[in-house]
Structure 1
Amino acid sequence: MASDLQHRDDEEVRSWSGDFDPLSDPDERRVLFAALDSYRQYRRTAHMNTTHRRRQAFYALPSSHWQMLAEPPFSILDNFNRVDDAIDVNADIADAILATGLAAFGLPANPDAEEPRQYWHDTATSSDVNKAHSTIRQFYRDWSSEGKAEREVCVEPVVRDLQDEFRERLASGEEMRVLVPGAGLGRLVFEVCQAGFAAEGNEISYHQLLASSWVLNHTAGPRHHALYPFALHFSNLLSREQQLRKVMIPDTHPGVAMIEAQTNQTPFGTMGMSAADFVVLYKNPSNKEAFDAVATVFFIDTAPNLIRYIETIRHCLKPNGVWVNVGPLLWHFEDGSNRSHREGERDDHQGIGEPGNVELTEDEVFCLVERMGFCIEKRQQVDDRPMCGYIQDPQSMLQPLYKPSRWLARKKSQ
C-alpha cells in the first residue's frame, strides 16, 4: 500500500491499495475500520473525557467552593467552555482525516448495517480512540513551527548526514533512494524528499497513515489549520493561556514547497509511503539491496527483537549503503507484553508480532550493529547530545526529556 505526494485524487484509491487490499483481509479490515472510527469518535470522546467529567467533579465540590472558583480570577467553568471550543477545532482535523481516509478506501460515511463488510461505525476500542487523540497532538511536533525545536534534534541532523554522504551523487543527477521506517506523520520523509532524495516511508499504524496522507496531500495551505495541542491536559500548568495555546499547521505545505522548488529549479525528490510491517515487507527479495540509505528516527526501540530490524536494514541496503539513526532506547515491549500492533496475527508472523523480546543498552546496540555487518563511522558522544522532548509543552512544569543517540553506520561490502 503506497501513497504519493504528487498523486491526484482519482489515483488515491489505487495508491492506498497497492498490491494488497486491506478490505479483502478480515484482520486488516478490522484494524483499518477501528482507526477510521477512532477519528469519527474524537469529538465526542474528547468532550466526554475532558470537560464533561470535570464539570461533574467540579459541581461535586461544596457549593461555596465551586461558586468561588467559578468567579474571576479563576473562572473555571468559563475555562471548560474554552477547552470545549478548542476540542471542536481539533476535531475538525480529525473529521478531515476521516473524510480523506473514507474517500481513499471508497467507504461510505454512513455505512448500511446490513452490509457488514462496509460497517465501520463503533468498531474502535478505547485504545484506538487514545491513539487518535495522541496522533492529532503529534501534529505539534511534526508540522508546526513551534515543534521545530524537537525536529532540530531529530530530523535535521539526519537530513544533514544524508546530504553530506550523497551531495556529489545528487548533484550529478543520480537518484538516491532513502527508506524511512516508522515514518509516522511523514515529516522526515518530506524533508528527505525536499533535499532531493527519492524517499520511501514505511508505517504500520493506520492512525499515522491516515493522518500523514491528510497532511501531505489534502491540507489547504501553509498555516491554514488551527490546533490546540495541550488543551486536553490540566496538570503542570503555569496559566490557562499555556493550556489553550494555539498553533497553526502545517508550517510548511508540501504542495507549495514542491511548486516553489520547480519555480526556483532546486532539487526536489519523489516521495512514497508503504503501509506494512517493516520486517515482513522489506525482508522481501524484491527489496534486496534496493536502497542507498536507511534513516531511522525514534524507531529502533519499537523492536521487540532488534536483530530482526538490523537484518532487514542490512538486507535492503546496497553494499556500502548507510544507516543513519537518531533516537532513545525506550523499549516498547519492556513490560513483556509482546503484542502485535495488529491483533489477531498468526504466531508464526516474523514481524512486530513475533514472540519474544529483549532490551539492550546503547553499548550493546553498538556491538550488535557492528557484529551484524555494519561499521559505525560516526557516533555522537553523550556529553555532546542535545536534549529534546516528545510532543513536549516547553512551558510545562514537568519536562521529561531525552538525550537521543545519534550515529551513522555503513554496511560492509561482501
Structure 2
Amino acid sequence: MASEHQHPQTEEENSWGGDFDPFADPEERRVLFAAFDSFRQYRRNAHKNTTHRRRQAFYALPSEHWQMLSEPPFSILDNFNKVDDAIDANAEIADRILELGLKSFGLPQNPDKSRPTQNWHDVATSSDLNKAHSTIRQFYRDWSSEGRAEREVCYDPVLQDLHDEFKVRRDHGEEIRVLVPGAGLGRLVFEICMAGYDAEGNEISYHQLLASSWILNHTDGPAQHALHPFALHFSNLRSRTQQLQQVMIPDVHPGFAMQEAANTGRRLGTMSMSAADFTILYTQPDNHEAFDAVTTVFFIDTAPNLIRYIETIRHSLKPNGLWINVGPLLWHFDDGHSRTPSDTGHEGAGIGEPGNVELSEEEVLCLVERMGFRLEKRGDRRACGYIQDPDSMLLNMYQPSHWVMRKMTEA
C-alpha cells in the first residue's frame, strides 16, 4: 500500500488521498477491515476478557470468601465496576478512531453484509484485537504528559542529533528532510516538525495509521480525552489507585501548538505520513537520495531481514546523510514474536519476504558499516520502559542502543 496524507489538516474530508485504493486488493482490504473491526469490538472484548471472566471466577470462590472480599477495604466487586468505567472511557477513544476511519474511507457504520467490499464487521482476529488494545495504550507513551519519561529517553537524543548536524543549515533557511520509518502514533514526526525540519513519517500498520490520523488531525484540544492505560492490568499492583490511573490526551494539541509557534515567528517544518511498506516505497526512484536524515526509533528490530532495511535507508539518504537510531533488538520475527507474511498484507515482497535472521548489537553495527556507512557516534545507554507503569512491582526495562551513522559517498 502507498498513500500519503498531510498533518495537521483543516478539514475532515478524506485524508487518504492519492492513487491509493485498498479496496482493489482483497488482502489489503481484509487487513484494513480487520483494523476497523478490532476498534469496533474494543469495548465488548475488553469487558468480556477483563471483568466478566473475573467476576465469574470471583463468585466461584466459597461464599464466605467472596463476601468478605466484597466488603471494605477490599471491595473487589466495586473495583470491577470501576474498571468497567475505565474500559468505557478507553472505548470512547477507540470509537472516535473508528468513526474517523470509516468516514475517511467512505464506509458505513452498519455495512451491507452481502457486499464483500463493504462488510467490515466480525472479521478481526485475536491478533487484530490485541493490536487495537496495544494501540490505545500507546497513547500513554506518545501523547500524555505522564509518558514524557519514556519519550525523553527515545526522542530527545534524536532531536539533539538533528540539531548538532543541521541546526545551522536550518537556521539559514535550508529545508532539511527527515524520514521516520515506523512512525507509529506520530509523536516523533510532530516533534521533528516543531523543531523546524520537514518530517515524513512512514507506517504500515492500519491500527497505528488510523490512530495517528485521529490524534494529529481530529482532537478538539489538549487534555480532552481520558485514558486509563493500566486498567486492564491486575497483577503487580501496589494499590487499586495505580490500576485506575487516568491520564488526559493529548498533552499537546498538534494544531494549536503549530499555530502558536507560527504566530511567534518560530520556524516550523512540514509534516506528512505515508502508508506503505517501508522497503517497497522508499526504494522507488523518486525517493532516491531524497532525505537528509533517517531516524529509526524502536524500529530496526521489526525487520525479518535487516539488510533490506539498510539498503532502503542507504537508497533514500542523500550523500553524507545521517542515520540516527535508538532502540533495542527485540526481533519481532524470532520464535517468540513471529508473524506470518499474511499479517503484513505483503506476502512475498517487502516485509513479507521469506526468511529472517536475528543479530546482536555488535553484528548490527558491523553490518551497517559494511554496507556503506561510517559510525559517527555511540550514545549513552539510558534505561526506559515501553508503555510501562513506573509504579508496577514488575518493571520491564530496555537499555536501547543509540548510534549515529553517516552514509559514505561512493569512491
Identify whether the pair has TM-score above 0.5, normalized to the shorter chain.
yes
The residue identity in structure 2 corresponding to 1:28 is E
Aligned position for 1:256 = 256
Number of residue equivalences: 407
Indicate yes or no: 2:394 matched with 1:398: yes
When the two structures are superposed, what TM-score results if normalisation uses the length of structure 1?
A: 0.96
Which runs of 5 or more residues in structure 1 are unaligned?
none
Judged with a 3 Å threshold, the aligned counterparts in structure 2 of structure 1 residues 343 and 300 are, in CA distance, closer, same or farther, namely closer
Q: 1:299-314 residue pairs with structure 2 within 5 A?
A: 299-314=299-314
Match of 2:4 in 1: 2
| Aligned residues: CA RMSD | 1.2
**Equivalent residue for 1:339?**
340
Letter in 1 for 2:26: P
User: Quick check: 1:359 aligned with 2:358?
Assistant: yes
Note the 1:207-222 alignment, pairs <5 A.
Answer: 207-222=207-222
Distance in 1, Cα, partners of 2:83 & 2:339? 37
Name the residue aligned to 2:178. Answer: 178
Please identify runs of 4+ aligned residues in structure 1 that moved more than 4 A. none
CA distance in 2 between counterparts of 1:256 and 1:338 reads: 39
Percent identity, please: 72
Partner of 1:233: 233
Alpha carbons 1:338, 1:356 under 8 Å: kept: no
* CA–CA distance in structure 1, aligned partners of residues 46 and 323 of structure 2: 40
Distance 2:166 2:344 in 1: 40
**Distance in 2, Cα, partners of 1:217 & 1:7:** 6
Per-residue deviation, 1:5: 1.1
Distance in 2 between residues matched to 1:17 and 1:114, nearest whole Å: 27
Specify the SS of the correspondent of 1:322.
strand
Distance 1:105 1:169 in 2: 40
Is the Cα contact below 8 Å between 1:205 and 1:341 reproduced in 2? no
State the distance in 2 between where 1:9 and 1:45 align: 32
Counterpart Cα distance in 2 of 1:200 and 1:412? 23
Alpha-carbon shift at residue 116 of structure 1 (Å):
2.1
Contact 2:28 2:345 in 1 (8 A): no
- Kindly indicate whether residue 163 of structure 2 is the aligned counterpart of residue 167 of structure 1: no
Contact 2:178 2:199 in 1 (8 A): yes
Deviation string 1:194-237 (CA, Å, 9 cap, x unpaired) is: 10111000000000000000000011111111100000010000
Q: Which amino acid in 2 is paired with 1:339? A: T
User: How has the CA–CA distance of structure 1 residues 401 and 343 changed in structure 2, closer, same or farther, with 3 Å as cutoff?
Assistant: closer
- Please say if residues 198 and 271 of structure 2, whose CA atoms lie closer than 8 Å, have aligned partners that are also in contact: yes
Equivalent residue for 1:86? 86
Q: Which moved more, 1:237-246 or 1:104-113?
A: 104-113
Question: Matched residue of 1:117: which SS?
Answer: coil
In structure 2, the partner of 1:145 is 145
1:146-191, Cα deviation, whole Å (9 max, x unpaired): 0000001001110111111101111111111100000000000000
Separation in 2 of the partners of 1:227 and 1:80?
A: 17
Distance (whole Å) between structure 1 residues aligned to residue 253 and residue 318 of structure 2: 32
Q: Does the aligned pair in 2 maintain the 1:299–1:327 contact within 8 Å?
A: yes
Distance 1:33 1:179, change over 3 A: same
- 2:386 equivalent to 1:385: no
Structure 1 residue 413, shift from structure 2 partner: 1.1
Alpha-carbon spacing, 1:343–1:188, altered in 2? closer, same or farther (3 Å): closer
Q: 1:313-371 deviations in whole A, cap 9, x for unaligned? A: 00000000000000001111111845236456443x1x111111111111111101110
The AA in structure 1 aligned to 2:274 is S
Q: Distance in 1 between matches of 2:319 and 2:58?
A: 63
Matched residue, 1:292:
292
Partner secondary structure for residue 8 of structure 1: coil
- Which amino acid in the other structure matches residue 137 of structure 2? R
2:26 corresponds in structure 1 to 26
Structure 1 counterpart of 2:247? 247
1:90-128: per-residue Cα shift (whole Å, max 9, x none)? 000000000110111111111112322111111111110
Which consecutive residues of structure 2, in runs of 5 or more, have no partner in the other structure? none
Q: Contact (CA 8 Å) 2:197, 2:269: kept in 1 or not?
A: yes
Aligned-pair distance for 1:138? 0.4
